[in-house]
Amino acid sequence: MAAVEITRQTGLYIRSQRENVGIEIESKGKNDFVTQFDKEAERRLIAGLEKILPESGFIAEEGTSSKKGKRFNWIIDPIDGTTNFIHGLFPYAISVGLMEDDRMVAGVVYEAGLDECFYAWDGAPAMLNNKEIKVSQKPKVADSLIATGFPYTNFSLMEEFMLSLDYFMKNSHGMRRLGSAAADLAYLACGRFDAFYEYDLKPWDVAAGTFIVIQAGGKVADFSGGRNYIFGRQIMASNALIFDEFSTHVQRYLAPKK
C-alpha cells in the first residue's frame, strides 16, 4: 500500500527535522500547539496521497487542503502528540485514514520513536512493520492495562473522568497516558494495551487507529455504545473479550446523560 510508505517517509522527515532544526511554535488555543513541521508534514502527506487517489479529498488537522472528495476522503493528523514532539518526548505519530463514503477502509499510524508503522486496509489483517498483529486476549478488566488521555482544553467532564480513573486505577493492572491517541490505539491493536478511552478527540486523532484496532480483532464504540466514535469526540475501545465489562464501567461515568 503506497500510503504506508508515504506516511513512514513523512515520519522519518519530521523526526530528523526535530533533531536538527529549531522549532517554531504557534498556539491555536489553550494547550493546543502547532509547529512548522506539522504544516510541512501535512503538505507532504497531501501531495503524496493525492497522487494515489486524485479524486480524493482531505480532512486534515492543519487545514492545508480544503478539497472534499465525493467518495474518498483522507483523514490526516500530521503529528499526533505535538506537545510531546515540542518537548522531545516520544511517542508522537502520524495518523492517516481513508474513508470511503461513510466508512473507513484503510488506516496507517507511524510512531516515530520506535520506527513502527501500523496499518490495515479493508478485508486484510492489521500489520506492524510487515507482521500481522492482534489485540490481546486478556479476559477481564482486572488483568488489563488501560490507556487514556487527559483533558487539556475541554474540562466539562473532568469530575466524571476523575471518577473513572479512580475506578480503573483500583481495578486493573494500571493506567497509562502517553500523549498520543493514535499511538494508544496502535498499541491496543498489537496487544500492548488492552483498552483505551478518551473524550474530546478529533477525527484525525482516531480515524486510522480505530480502523486498525477493528482489523486486529478489537471493538470500538462511543460512550453511548454507538458507532459515532470518529466524529463524536468520545471513544472507548478494547479487545473483544473485555469489551462488555470495560464499556459498562466507562458508560457508568461518562455516558451522555439522558
The tens digit of pLDDT for each residue in 21-76 reads: 767 777 655 555 677 888 889 999 999 999 999 999 999 887 777 789 899 999 99
What are the chain's domains? 2-132 (3.30.540.10), 141-254 (3.40.190.80)
For the four alpha carbons of 95, 111, 155 and 258, in that order, the dihedral sign comes to positive
Rounded to an integer, the average pLDDT of 204-231 is: 97
* Whole-number average pLDDT of the chain: 93
What percentage of the chain reaches a pLDDT higher than 90? 80
Confidence (pTM)? 0.94
